Amino acid sequence: MSHSAAIVNIRVQTLVVTLSCLLFAVKLLAYFMTESVAILTDALESTVNVVTGFTGLYSLKIAARPRDVNHPYGHGKVELISASFEGILILIAGLIIIYEAITNLLHPHVLRELDFGIALIMGTAIVNYAMGWYCIRVGRKNHSLALQATGKHLQADTWSTLGIVAGLILIRLTQLSWLDSAVAILFGVLVIVEGAKIIRQTIAGIMDEADTELLKQVIQVLNASKSDNWVDLHNLRIIKYGAILHLDCHLTVPWYFNVNEGHKEVDDLERIIRKHFPRSLEMFVHTDGCVPPASCRVCPLDKCAVRQQDFEGRLEWTFENVTSNRKHGMQDEPASGLLSGRQTDNS
CATH of the domain at 26: 1.20.1510.10
**pLDDT of the residue at 332:** 44
59 has a pLDDT exceeding 70 = no
Same domain, 252 and 196: no
Give residue 29's identity as a one-letter amino acid code.
L
Residues 236 and 269 in one domain: yes
Same domain, 270 and 189: no
Percent of the chain exceeding pLDDT 90 equals 13
Which residues contact residue 13 at a Cβ distance below 8 angstroms, ignoring those fewer than 6 apart? Answer: 53, 56, 57, 60, 135, 146, 147, 150
State the total domains in the chain. 2
Q: Is 130 in the same domain as 276?
A: no
Q: Name the domain boundary from 179, 206, 233.
A: 206
- Amino acid (one-letter) located at 142: N
Domain shared by 103 and 46, yes or no: yes
Predicted confidence at residue 101, as pLDDT, reads: 79
**The last residue of a domain, from among 185, 206, 227:** 206
**Which range of residues forms the domain containing residue 138?**
3-206
Q: Please, what's the b/e burial string for 178-187 (b: 16 or more CB within 10 A of its CB; e: otherwise)?
A: ebbbebbbbb
Between 82 and 157, where is the model more confident? 157
Q: What is the CATH number of the domain that holds 275?
A: 3.30.70.1350
Which of 149, 174, 206 is the last residue in one of the domains? 206
Please check the confidence at residue 63 and state whether its pLDDT lies above 50: yes
In this predicted structure, what is the pLDDT of residue 76? 61
pLDDT band at 276 (very low <50, low <70, confident <90, very high): confident
Same domain, 177 and 44: yes
For the chain, give the number of residues.
Answer: 347
Give me the mean pLDDT over the 303-309 stretch.
86
Which 8-state DSSP code applies to residue 76?
T
pLDDT at 171 over 90: no
Confidence of residue 263 (pLDDT cuts 50, 70, 90): very high
More confident residue, 278 or 27: 27
Whether residues 172 and 263 fall in one domain = no
One domain, residues 324 and 285 = yes
Higher-confidence position of 196 and 184: 196
Helix, strand, or coil here: 78? helix
Residues 31, 176 within the same domain: yes
Residue 199 sits in the same domain as residue 333: no
Which residue(s) pair with 127 in the sheet? none
**Confidence band (pLDDT; 50, 70, 90) for 161?**
confident
Give the span between the Cα atoms of 104 and 82, in whole angstroms. 33
**What does DSSP assign to residue 325?**
S
pLDDT computed for residue 146 by the predictor: 67
Per-residue pLDDT, 344: 34
Of 59-68, 125-134, 271-280, highest mean pLDDT: 125-134
pLDDT given for residue 330 in this prediction: 55
Of the listed ranges 59-63, 174-178, 281-285, 322-326, the one predicted with least confidence: 59-63
> If you average pLDDT over every residue of the chain, what do you get?
78
Do residues 62 and 170 share a domain?
A: yes
Coil/strand/helix, residue 4: helix
Is this structure's pTM higher than 0.75?
Answer: no
**34 CB-near residues (< 8 Å, 6+ apart):** 111, 112, 113, 114, 116, 117
202 and 217 part of one domain: no
Average pLDDT on 11-27 reads 86
